[in-house]
Structure 1
Amino acid sequence: KSETSKPSEERDVVFVGTKPIMTYVSATLTQLSTRPTVTIKARGKRITQAVDVSQMIVKRMDSVGYVISDVRISSDSLTSQDGKQRNVSTMEIDISKE
């Protein structure tokens, strides 16, 4: 699934979840065909998949000239189902055309 992070910016976000990696690769490439920059976003255990998605696009589509333009890492404090506060790491990877 993808959604626009801020309407004023020309940017789309692809959230990495439990689907196969190629689903996110194709979703990102589809967004890149109409947008200058696409952000791949993941939390927790899915960060590794987000990195894999970005590397597949940059390395396998090198003839097109996609590059990682920015990487942001942070953590969110969430309340788990048992009521405890948990810190969950998040990563955002921006991909754009050279």
Structure 2
Amino acid sequence: MSASNAHAGRKAGNEIFIGKKPLMTYVTATLVQLANEPMVIIKARGKSITRAVDVAQIIVKRMDMMGYKIGPVKIGSEAVQSPDGRIRNVSTIEVSISRAR
């Protein structure tokens, strides 16, 4: 996946890629996916990681009556080539959210 696709906010299956759009855009997108899928994975890297955590917390805390829960959280790093040609590591996170049943 190229760097431009990673933060475009597009959905691939049950994945939500967090980028620079307003926070509630991702909350809404995740809730729509959760209506159709039993589990959704919120993915982010770099500076968008804090927004991904915020999205997960909003869904779990504010939608308490809906019974959503945070599942496994994966952290890692990814080698990315910067515009000047250098390779650098960027932190990544994947947060799974599912309906508690």
| Higher helix residue share | 2
Secondary structure of the 1:18 match is: coil
1:28 is the counterpart of 2:24 = no
**For the aligned residues, what is the CA RMSD?**
0.5
Instruction: Map Cα deviations across residues 37-96 of structure 1 (whole Å, 9 max, x no partner).
Output: 000000100000000000000000010100001100010011111111100000000000
Secondary structure of the 1:33 match is: helix
TM value normalised by structure 2:
0.88
Please point out which of 81, 84, 96 is paired with 1:82.
84
Letter in 2 for 1:41: K
* Count of aligned pairs: 91
1:97 aligns with 99
2:6 aligns with none
TM value normalised by structure 1:
0.91
- Percent identity reads 56
Runs (4+) of structure 1 exceeding 3 A deviation are none
| Higher strand residue share | 1
Structure 1 alignment gaps of length 5 or more: 5-11
